């Protein structure tokens, strides 16, 4: 999640390895939004490694890596809140009888989060990133 705009990019990981994280970041984030100025993570090995440093460098970015304390969710507040929202949304969709695999729900959950006004910035993440409101806040599905 982008700290300024609150823009979410959500994708599943099968194994949560450094290689998989790097591939998914390149495929789902860097290819669309470019290289971040700051990359904030916990101290998990999938985030703190030479592979990510090399990836960002290869993409032309001078990225500042900021690491929170391991297993200390308070130092990761924004991301932890986002995870809780994602988990509760997934649980709600399951409870109403969505019978498709949970992975298929992620794009519409992501869109829904990005077109919802964020209280802290009084704006949608979509508008902050793209400079205009979405044509529709309708979340398909």
Domains of the chain: 18-134 (3.30.420.10)
> d(Cα 74, Cα 52) in Å, to the nearest integer?
24
Closest CA to 6 of 121, 106, 125: 125
Q: Are 82 and 3 in contact (CB under 8 A)?
A: no
Closest CA to 27 of 7, 13, 37, 38: 13
The average pLDDT across 4-18 equals 91
Whole-number mean pLDDT of the chain? Answer: 84
Residue 126 confidence class, pLDDT cut points 50, 70, 90: very high
The average pLDDT across 34-54 equals 81
Q: What pLDDT does 73 receive?
A: 54
pTM of the model: 0.80
Q: What is the DSSP letter of 75?
A: G
Residue 5 confidence class, pLDDT cut points 50, 70, 90: very high
């Amino acid at each position: 999640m982008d700290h300024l705009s609150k823009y979410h990019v959500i994708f599943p990981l099968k194994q949560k390895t450094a290689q998989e994280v790097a591939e998914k970041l390149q495929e789902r984030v860097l290819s669309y939004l470019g290289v971040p100025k700051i990359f904030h993570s916990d101290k998990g090995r999938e985030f703190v490694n030479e592979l990510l440093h090399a990836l960002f460098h290869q993409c032309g970015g001078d990225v500042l890596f900021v690491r929170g304390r391991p297993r200390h969710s308070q130092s990761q507040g924004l991301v932890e809140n986002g995870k809780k929202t994602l988990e509760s949304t997934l649980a709600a969709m399951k409870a109403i009888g969505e019978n498709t695999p949970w992975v298929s729900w992620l794009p519409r959950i992501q869109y829904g989060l990005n077109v919802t006004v964020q209280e802290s910035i009084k704006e949608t993440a979509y508008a902050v990133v793209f400079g205009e409101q979405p044509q529709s806040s309708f979340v398909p599905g």
